[in-house]
Chain A
Amino acid sequence: MISIQNLYKQFGDKEVLKNINTKFEDGKVNLIIGRSGSGKTVLLKCIIGLLKPTAGHVLFDQRDFHSFPGHVQNELKMEMGVVFQGSALFDSLTIEENVMFPLDLLTKKSYQEKQERANYCLQRVDLENTNKLYPSELSGGMKKRAAIARAISSNPKYLFCDEPNSGLDPKTSIMIDELLYSITHEFNITTIINTHDLNTVITIGETISYIQDGILEWKGTKDEVLISDHDKLNDFIYAQPLTQKMRGFVK
């Protein structure tokens, strides 16, 4: 379980995260939702160690991540897989090399073992025939899937995704959502996804944390999110004309 306790993050005078307290459950898809600029990415970066919180704790199974020295943090990072908003695949490497990269650096497996694992991961995300292609030769959705393959190649305990659907068409978004959901349950990973995609929220959000202006405003599940009485959450969920029509139907 990942537990966030009294987390604050400040940039200069600007307080971006204010007293965040929440838990992300094991083996489930945990969503962090909110408007652009609400602090979702900063929270995710604090969790994965790219940013140091101004105050507070991030506990991975009771292990206080930010209290550890660098080399212990690095060991803990080996238990994480991260899918970045822009995929962050290495341009100079082929897709297969990208997926093998964490294994090259962090394991002592033979080349054949690494290749087998890379092939398995690529197969799992339906990218069997892309081994020798470079990231620039893939579409946006394929890049996202390749990034997921790289993230799961080292068999992580925790998977983090920063807006995995951004810039994708609705059908590809659904495919990515389904993939993340099935991977989470197949490998019993604790997954945290940053998103503002409503479809993701209502289809795969097993736990949902809503953030606004750096404050955790609401927490619930996909079944509760549409019928909540929380005004700020409803302003976010029912912001579009289509969802406003849907609201009457839901009620």
Chain B
Amino acid sequence: MIKKGLILLGEYFIFLGKVFAKPIKWKLFFKKLIDEMYNMGVGSLPIVLIVAVVMGAVVTLQTGLQIESNWVPKWTVGFTARTSIIMEFCPTIISLLLIGNLGSRITAEIGGMRVTEQIDALDVMGINSSSFLVLPKIVALLIVNPTLIILSMFCALLGGYFVSLTSTVVAPYDYIDGITSFFRMYDVYYSLIKTFVFAFVIGSVASFYGYKIEGGALELGKASTNAVVTSSFIVLILNLVITQIML
């Protein structure tokens, strides 16, 4: 088991070594990058925004219900909700969502190309197929993931505001007061660093599992599942590590 894991880890780093090679043509690289950014960003935008609004609403509601005391100022609800949304919920939950949405798609796409010999076709043309296919995806995710997560933060805060308008747990004025109090830019930096790391994990792990497929459709399904499970596990562990280091 440990030996298998170490072999897999070794294969992953060898794969990364091949991915980070100079693109054969920069023009084609940027064309692929734009395509990937569009497909990943626009494709994931609706689901990310919907989940963010609902998540923000639930976090605000839960926080408001937990802090029902005359001794605690009302703006604490907004403050706590904002801090949890920015520092934890958006970067982690949205990244886990993107693993399911984009990670599985990347594995299926690259794995499908492997199964149908399209990757072999690239290799026999003398092209570094891992770099050609994977590098634009990882770079696109490094741009798209933080952008989506910043947008999701705004939407989650908006979700909280809807709760303040429609329920009695916190008044809109108190909520606005809370989310604008004691704002620290460091929280956003911390959150963005996490999203960059998570984006790299999503792109590289999903591509790795797709690239190393041997066999047919059955292996493709297994690889997608393995990619999602492994990426989620790594993201959660790295979340803990980064939090320990930065906070």
Contacts and interface: CB of A to CB of B under 8 A. Distances in A.
B124 A82 contact: yes
B140 to A, nearest CB: 15
B150 to A, nearest CB: 29
A26 B25 CA distance: 33
B27 to A, nearest CB: 9
Nearest to B32: A92
Contacts of A78: 125-126
Interface string B89-127: 000000000000000000000001100111011011111
Given A104-B25, A104-B28, A105-B25, A50 B120 contact: yes
A56 interface: no
Interface residues of A, number: 23
B116 A86 contact: yes
Interface string B118-139: 1011011111000000000000
B236 interface: no
Contacts of A91: 112-113, 116, 118
B215 to A, nearest CB: 14
A101 B125 CA distance: 10
Nearest to A71: B126
Contacts of B127: 74, 105
Contacts of B117: 84-86, 88
Contacts of A86: 116-117
- Give the interface centre of B118, B126, B127 by most chain A CB atoms within 10 Å: B126
Given A104-B28, A105-B24, A80 B118 contact: no
Contacts of B125: 77-78, 101-102, 105-106
A73 B123 CA distance: 11
A49 interface: yes
Given A49-B124, A78-B125, A106-B125, A90 B118 contact: yes
A73 B120 contact: no
B29 to A, nearest CB: 11
A231 interface: no
B116 A88 contact: yes
Contacts of A73: 126
A84 B121 contact: yes
A233 interface: no
B34 to A, nearest CB: 14
A13 interface: no
A169 interface: no
Interchain residue pairs A-B with the least CB separation, the first 7: A74-B126, A77-B126, A88-B117, A88-B121, A84-B117, A82-B124, A88-B118
17 contacts: A49-B123, A73-B126, A74-B126, A75-B126, A76-B126, A77-B125, A77-B126, A78-B125, A78-B126, A82-B120, A82-B124, A88-B117, A90-B113, A90-B118, A90-B121, A101-B125, A104-B28
Given A77-B124, A82-B121, A90-B113, 5 more contacts: A48-B124, A82-B120, A82-B124, A88-B116, A89-B118
